[in-house]
């Protein structure tokens, strides 16, 4: 399971032109599910995300986590994070999990966050979405449950 995490001042998502959800001061998370991922991957990634100290303290150092700043998370499913573009000019998505199983693990990830007390908004799984954000920093972190990076 992979995530691109961006610290944002605000972020929102629309599906088919209709407003779906938004957050202020928090994290915008693009989440991709790979074949072989399990609920353990979702748990690992959600706990890692909750504990990331990427918000500034009073001294201006990245030393606070999402809970300490009262922030929220906007989760957007994005299977293209699993694409492999090493060969040719068109990426392969063979390693991306099948939609039904990917949705289960996407929902598990969200449940892990909410169970940990993190306010979560989400996009719509398998939908064409318009995502807007105002990055803070910018700060962008890459997470991988298999610790590839």
Locate tokens 């693990």: which residue? 105
Task: Give CA–CA dist 87/106, Å, rounded.
Answer: 28
Tell the CATH topology of 2-144.
Answer: 3.50.80
Residue 36 tokens read as: 């072989």
Whole-structure pTM value: 0.95
pLDDT at residue number 126: 93
Name the pLDDT band for 110 (thresholds 50, 70, 90): very high
> Would residue 149 show up in a list of annotated catalytic residues for this protein?
no
The yes-or-no answer on residue 78 being catalytic is yes
Q: What is the mean pLDDT of residues 79-98?
A: 90
Provide the residue ranges of all domains of the chain, joining segments of one domain with +. Answer: 2-144
Say if residues 17 and 59 touch (Cβ distance below 8 Å).
Answer: no
79 assigned to active site = yes
Catalytic-labelled residue, pool 6, 19, 55, 80: 80
Instruction: Give the model confidence (pLDDT) of 46-72 as tens digits.
Output: 999 999 999 999 999 999 999 999 999
Write down the pLDDT at residue 149. Answer: 73
């Amino acid at each position: 399971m992979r995530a691109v995490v961006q610290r944002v001042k605000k972020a929102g998502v629309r599906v088919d032109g209709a407003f779906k959800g938004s957050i202020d001061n928090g994290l915008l998370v693009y989440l991709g599910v790979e074949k072989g991922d399990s609920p353990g991957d979702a748990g690992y990634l959600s706990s890692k995300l909750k504990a990331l100290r990427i918000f500034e303290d009073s001294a201006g150092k990245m030393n606070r986590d999402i809970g300490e700043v009262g922030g929220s998370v906007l989760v957007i499913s994005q299977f293209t994070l699993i694409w492999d573009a090493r060969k040719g000019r068109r990426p392969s998505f063979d390693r991306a999990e099948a939609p039904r199983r990917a949705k289960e693990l996407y929902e598990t990830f969200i449940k892990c966050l909410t169970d940990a007390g993190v306010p979560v908004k989400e996009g719509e799984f398998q939908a064409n979405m318009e995502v807007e954000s105002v990055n803070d920093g910018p700060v962008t972190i890459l997470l991988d449950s298999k610790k590839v990076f």
